[in-house]
Chains A and B, each alone.
Chain A
């Protein structure tokens, strides 16, 4: 395999792995938030706000990984 092929392969794999991580993270977060809302409906607003903040942070880390993958795919 040439270096170019390896770069494209790693970009694809990297994007997939990053998305798996983000999916697990945000999925667990949403599950916990829903459970919390079901147990304590009065706290719905606060739970939603902190869920969005945490989801945005998880998403941020994922996007860092995706930027690396995009750079690999574009510069290769």
Chain B
């Protein structure tokens, strides 16, 4: 158990760094376009519309704001800017919460695995259920009994990081790092690299690239099949990226819009607020389920792709 934990930590750090590097790059572009509008709006005392508030909550930004819901007192933490050699490496909101997810995973898993025993007890047993599930249901079934164990640390790390980041997004005032397309792209690129590695390990470097097109295809079909197969190789990480990102963002937008209905339908009647709060609570519980489901699907599809690459067609 010691070795998997250690490589888990290493991979978590790598994931976080890759994700945050990608986050930095994107904000540099978005920042210039949006820098003017919110500042002006705040100074003029203009109340932003409901869609503006929602997109401000869902998108990445340079600050973390807290607000006391009863008194209305608000506090904003402005994150430092950092420019290195023409690149904008400023820390953004999603970066902070991705790092928080990383720290939570490292601390919780290390603490749980500190006392190892045959009979799991306490929090150790909770972690063990998940790791055992990833190992037996995902790795061994999709990759194979012999080769599956080598990929359990990677898959378990993916699962715990995504699950933690998703759940942190459901805490009020926090943001879901997985709701940023750069973070999910970083995770998908990791899967892509591991998939290539597994393919080259399972079939040999030459064998893997020679068997990109399935055997038995007539030679005259190669000009069509080769681009199609390369495209399908690149579509897999792209689908992983979009799936996780769109699910998290869509869930949060629905949650905010249900609450925004209170403000949109102002003056219609007193019964709007209870109904929309009740629906929002329902969607919140659905989001708890989606957080777990998306972590599971991302991990399972990663295992599936690794398994597909490591066996020849």
Contacts and interface: CB of A to CB of B under 8 A. Distances in A.
Contacts of A59: 243
Interface in B264-313: 297, 300-301, 304
A52 interface: yes
Interface residues of A, number: 11
Nearest to A56: B297
Contacts of A66: 246
Interface string B240-253: 00110011000000
Contacts of B242: 60, 63-64, 67
A53 interface: yes
A63 B246 contact: yes
Interface string A53-76: 100110110011011000000000
B239 A53 contact: no
A18 B137 CA distance: 32
Q: Secondary structure of the B side of the interface?
A: helix
Nearest to A62: B246
Contact of B301 (A53, A63, A64): A53
Interface residues of B, number: 11
A56 to B, nearest CB: 5
A52 B56 CA distance: 33
A56 B246 contact: no
B243 A53 contact: no
A67 B239 CA distance: 12
Contact of B300 (A52, A60, A63, A64): A52
Nearest to A57: B239
A63 B250 CA distance: 10
A57 B243 CA distance: 9
Contacts of B246: 63, 66-67
Interface in B214-269: 239, 242-243, 246-247
12 contacts: A53-B300, A53-B304, A56-B300, A60-B242, A60-B243, A63-B243, A63-B246, A64-B239, A64-B242, A66-B246, A67-B242, A67-B246
Interface of A: 49, 52-53, 56-57, 59-60, 63-64, 66-67
